[in-house]
Structures are given as C-alpha cells and as structure tokens.
C-alpha cells in the first residue's frame, strides 16, 4: 500500500512546483491509472510514490509518502524500498543492462536472496507470463519496442514485489504489442498485484482500472471511478482522444499535372533482409494520407524513401516528377519534410528560435525571423521562442518538431507517429495543426497506429502488412 499526503515537490534549479499538495492512496490489489497532459507531473508522481524523489533527488520537498505503512524517509535507501516496490520506466532500452533476455531476468532474480531452485522456478514462470520464452537468447538491440518493454517488466516482476509502478509502458507500441502488455498486467492484477499505471491509452486498460486520476499542472484535477469522472466533458477529452470533426469535407483538389509522390514497384532490403516488396502508390498534391500497420510492416522504411534517407533496391520513387535517384537528400529536404517519432532526436540548439533557424539556414531561406514567427504561430508556440527546446513538455516538443519542418516550407510533410506520448487534448491539437497545413496546400502523410486518426482526420488510408500495401482506401466522408 502506498499513501501520498500533501506531497509538493520542486525540481532543483526550477521555481515551478512539479507536484502541488498531491494526496493519493494506492490500496492493495487495486489499479490506479494516472493520465493527463505531458508535463503535468505524472512521472514525478511515480518517482515520489516509490521514494526515489526523497532518496535520490534534490529540490524542495514537502508532505509525506508511506510505503506499506512506513514513511519513505525511514527506509535506508532504494535497495530497501526495492524489496517492496517494482518500477518500470518508459525508456525500456535504458533498463536492459545485460546482453540477452534470459540473462537480464536471471540477474534480477539472483539479487533477491532466493535459493537456486527457487530462482530457476521463478525464471521459468516469469518467462511464460511475459511471453518471452521464445526469444530468451535475443540481445537488446534485436528486440522490438514491445519485446523490450516486456523484458523490462519481466525483470521488475523478478523482484517478486506486490506493488508495481509503470510509467507509460505502451507509449511507443503498436496495437498488437499494447494488447499483450494489457493482457499481462490484467493477469497480474488478478493475481493480486497492486498497480500504479501512468498511461494515455485508457481505452485499452479500461477493464482493469479501478480508479482513474487526471493530473494537470502538478495537481490532481479529477479522481474517481472511471464511469463517474468521465461524465465531465473536459476531463473526458483529456482521457480519450476525440478526433471527430477534424475532417471537414472532401480534400480540396489542387490543380496539378504531376502527383506529389509516385512510387513504382518499389522494393527495399536492409542487408539482404527484405523490408518492402513491390510497393506502388501515388499520392496527389493536397491529400491527407494515413499509413497504418503494425510495427515492422515497412511504414517508416517507405517514407524514408521519399527524401532518400533510403534509396530503393528496385523500382522508383518520384517526388513532384523528379526521380529521387537523381536528387540529393538536401535537395529533397526542400520538397519533403520528415518529422520523426521522437522529437528529441533533432533538438540541439539553445533556443526554440535557433532550432527552427537551423533548417532555414541549411536551405538558405531568407527572412528567417518572419518565417520562424509564422511557423511558431502555426503550432501555438510563439511564447516559447527564447526557451531551451528540451525544457518544453513532450506535447510542446512534438509541436516544435512540426514547426521546424513547416518553417522549411516543404510541399509534402510526413510525420511518423505524431501523437506518441500525448494526451487526448494534445493529440487533437496536433491533428488540427496538420489539417490546417493541408488546407494551406501541403500534402500531409501521417504514419500512425491509431486508426481513429485515420478514420477522422485523413482522406485516405493506406494499410501496410509485411512490407506490402494490403489496402488503399478512401475514407468515406460522414
């Protein structure tokens, strides 16, 4: 059981409270799901609940946290707390220390003071529960995102604790992998585990959640049984993304003789491992296209061909009538803007303004200040111009990444999973921005696991499966 009473916390070198007089009780055998906008303090809550804030972090602290009836300050350190609580962080890769799946879990078991036979028995049982037996000898860099999350969870289960804290365990996972995690956690709950879960995918976890908590600005803005608090429309929009009404009608037909993108008989292999087979698609200027499919179905490999980050093994890709084989990546960057899934892969400048200016300087675009202001205005971030990009919340960073690309004025904008890690409101905001870009004449292509986005925002949905286009349909206008 974990109890937080009036917990406030301010990170070192900051003035704003990350948690403000927060009280919460996690009762044995229950599951609390915490959701809310990025930057609301959800991860800080996890760190507070398992005593990490109190033992490892500086900053200003107030209030009380008790774990199994004992104040966190009475524990000698994390090693002692770890006998009561297991925590899984969102970055699964950083939680893999050893070089095979089995070794990771076995090593976690070896430090529990158990008898060797008990270790072997628990190892076998955990591998089975987390569906890892078949990949026990794989190394971390040969695992998919879902598999890595399962390994991190399995190594935490190895500790044998009854309380589990999970910080966005499914943020980068596709439907299939998410369902696997939900299944595992539901089973664990049935076994009596106590679960504190930070998540955005309420719809997936609906059946196992006893209490839903919505956090905003470091405080709890709604708490209760899901059925009760979701009656509030504002709260509901944060918890469950609502994309209805974004598509206002059929796409405006732009007068053009050549398609924006023409892909003909495209095949691509990574070191002899085939990733795309004979893909042919045409995308017209001004279209809003959603590319859906499971992880590994070839979606990202396909869009990387559009600006020649990858060159076709066979077949051709033409961008606005020009074969990509005849163009450099820098030339194609003028026509195709690509926003990757993790915005943190691009930020390096000291201010938001300089971050956007980088792309403009690369392309030699004049009137930088005017262009930067316009791009920031487009994504609603004008007030952040002088801030350090990495200080922004995840949702703001995602919008900044879009602004960086929009400022370069490409006719085609491609986004890989633009709503990862965002709450309902933020996800809708991103999709509205993209819709506006389409209305301004851009061709927008979105890779997504979320079929609602395809259904309510796109004009056309291309489904990929094992490197092939399995369906290509126009989304009917309601």
Partner 1 sequence: MSEILQYVHKDGFFHRLHPFSKILFIIVISVMCVFITSIPFLILMVVALLSLAYISHLHREVIQQLKLVLIMSVVFIIITVLTMPNGATLGYLIPQGVPVIGGSIAITDGAIGIGLVLALRFMVLIFAFQLFLISTQPRDLVHAMEKLHMPIDYILMFIIALRFIPTLQIEGQRIHEAQLARGYNPGTGMLGKIRGVAPIVVPLVSNALLRSNVLGLTIDMRGYRTGIRTHVRERKFCTGDYAMMGSLVVTVSVFFVVAIFASGLIF
Residues lying near partner 1 in the complex (CB under 8 A): 50, 52, 56, 77-79, 81-83, 85-87, 89, 91, 93-100, 103, 106-116, 119-120, 137, 139-141, 155-156, 158-159, 304, 307, 309, 329-330, 333-334, 336-338, 340, 342, 344-348, 358-359, 362-363, 390, 404-405, 408
Contact 260, 285 (CB under 8 A): yes
In this complex, which beta carbon is closest to partner 1, that of residue 220 or of residue 430? 430
Residue 310 in tokens: 């990858």
> Which CB sits closer to partner 1, 122 or 189?
122
Q: How far is the CB of 75 from partner 1 (least distance, A)?
A: 12
Assign 264 to helix, strand or coil. Answer: strand
Separation of CA 160 from chain center: 28
Identity of the residue, 30 or 112, whose beta carbon is nearer to partner 1 in the bound complex: 112
Write down the least CB distance from residue 111 to partner 1, Å.
4
Report the nearest approach of partner 1 to the CB of residue 328 (Å): 8
Please report how close the Cβ of residue 153 comes to partner 1 at its closest, in angstroms.
12
Nearer of residues 120 and 128 to partner 1, judged by Cβ:
120
Decide whether 129 or 230 has the Cβ nearer to partner 1.
129
Tell me how far apart the alpha carbons of residues 370 and 373 are, in angstroms, rounded to a whole number.
5
Beta carbon of residue 139, minimum distance to partner 1 (angstroms, whole number): 6
The per-residue DSSP string of 33-68 comes to EEE-STTSSHHHHHHHHTTHHHHH--SEEEEEEEET
Rounded to a whole number of angstroms, the minimum distance from the CB of residue 180 to partner 1 is 22
The phi, psi pair for 57, rounded to 5°, reads -110, 150
Cα 100 to Cα 103: distance, rounded to the nearest angstrom: 5
Q: Write the DSSP string, 162-230.
A: SEEEEESTTTT--HHHHHHHHHHHHHHHHTT-EEEEE-S-HHHHGGG-SEEEEEETTEEEEEE-HHHHT
Closest to partner 1 by CB, 173 or 238: 173
Rounded to an integer, what distance in angstroms lies between the CA atom of residue 266 and that of residue 270?
Answer: 14
Task: Kindly state the smallest distance separating residue 420's Cβ from partner 1, in Å.
Answer: 14
Supply the minimum distance, in Å, between the C-beta of residue 5 and partner 1: 23
Tell me the Cα Rg of the chain. 24
Query: Least distance from C-beta 414 to partner 1, angstroms?
Result: 9
Residue whose CB is less far from partner 1, 123 or 208: 123
Question: Based on CB atoms, which residue is closest to partner 1, 241 or 343?
Answer: 343
Report residue 159 as tokens: 């500790």
Please state the closest distance from residue 118 (CB atom) to partner 1, in A: 9
What is the dihedral sign for C-alpha 89, 95, 101, 107? negative
Identity of the residue, 50 or 371, whose beta carbon is nearer to partner 1 in the bound complex: 50
CA distance 111 to 159: 8
Which residue's CB is nearer to partner 1, number 151 or number 239? 151
First to last CA, the chain: 49
| Backbone φ and ψ of 345, nearest 5° | -75, -10
Q: 3-class SS at 366?
A: coil
How many angstroms separate the CA atoms of 226 and 213, rounded?
Answer: 9
Q: Which is nearer to partner 1, 211 or 301 (CB)?
A: 301
CB of 295 to partner 1, least distance (A): 15
Phi-psi region at 115: left, alpha or beta (left = phi > 0; alpha = psi -120 to 50): beta
**Least Å from the CB of residue 145 to partner 1:** 13
Distances 203 to 102, 185, 209, 241, 423 between C-alpha atoms, Å: 32, 14, 10, 10, 12
Chain centroid, CA 461 distance in Å: 21
- Report the DSSP beta bridge partners of residue 85: 163
Rounded Cα–Cα distance for residues 154 and 138 (Å): 15
Nearer to partner 1, 52 or 291 (CB): 52
């Amino acid at each position: 059981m974990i109890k937080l009473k009036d917990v406030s916390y301010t990170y070192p070198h900051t003035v704003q409270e990350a948690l403000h007089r927060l009280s919460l009780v996690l009762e044995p055998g229950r599951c609390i799901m915490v959701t809310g906008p990025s930057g609301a303090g959800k991860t800080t809550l996890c760190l507070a609940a398992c005593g990490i804030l109190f033992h490892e972090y500086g900053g200003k602290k107030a209030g009380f946290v008790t774990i199994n009836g004992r104040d966190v300050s009475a524990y000698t350190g994390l090693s002692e707390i770890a006998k009561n609580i297991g925590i899984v962080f969102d970055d699964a890769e950083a939680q893999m220390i050893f070089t095979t799946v089995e070794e990771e879990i076995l090593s976690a078991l070896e430090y529990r003071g158990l008898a060797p036979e008990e270790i072997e028995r628990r190892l076998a049982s955990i591998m089975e529960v987390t569906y890892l037996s078949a990949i026990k000898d794989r190394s971390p860099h040969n695992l998919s995102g879902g598999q890595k999350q399962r390994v991190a969870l399995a190594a935490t289960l190895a500790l044998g604790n009854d309380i589990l804290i999970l910080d966005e365990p499914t943020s980068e996972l596709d439907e299939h992998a998410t369902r696997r995690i939900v299944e595992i956690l539901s089973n664990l709950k049935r076994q009596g585990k106590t679960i504190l879960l930070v998540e955005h995918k309420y719809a997936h976890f609906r059946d196992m959640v006893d209490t839903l908590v919505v956090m905003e600005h470091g405080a709890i803005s709604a708490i209760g049984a899901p059925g009760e608090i979701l009656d509030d429309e504002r709260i509901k929009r944060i918890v469950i993304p609502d994309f209805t009404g974004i598509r206002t009608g059929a796409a405006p037909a732009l007068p053009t003789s050549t398609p924006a993108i023409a892909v003909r008989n495209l095949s691509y292999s990574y070191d002899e491992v085939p990733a795309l087979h004979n893909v042919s698609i045409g995308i017209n200027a001004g279209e809003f296209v959603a590319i859906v499919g499971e992880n590994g179905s070839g979606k990202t490999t396909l869009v990387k061909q559009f600006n020649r980050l990858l060159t076709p093994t066979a077949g051709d890709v033409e961008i606005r009538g020009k074969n990509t084989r005849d163009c450099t990546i820098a030339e194609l960057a003028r026509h195709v803007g690509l926003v990757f899934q993790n915005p943190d892969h691009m930020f390096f400048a000291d201010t938001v303004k300089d971050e956007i200016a980088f792309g403009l300087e690369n392309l030699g675009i004049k009137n930088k200040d005017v262009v930067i202001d316009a791009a920031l205005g487009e994504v609603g971030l004008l007030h952040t111009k002088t801030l350090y990009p990495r200080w922004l919340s995840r949702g703001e960073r995602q919008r900044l990444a879009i602004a960086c690309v929009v400022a370069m004025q490409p006719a085609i904008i491609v986004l890989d999973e633009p709503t990862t890690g965002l709450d309902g409101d933020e996800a809708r905001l991103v999709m509205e921005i993209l819709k506006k870009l389409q209305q301004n004449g851009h061709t927008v292509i979105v890779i997504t696991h979320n079929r609602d986005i395809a259904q309510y925002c796109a004009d056309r949905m291309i489904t990929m499966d094992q490197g092939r286009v399995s369906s290509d349909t126009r989304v009917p206008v309601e």
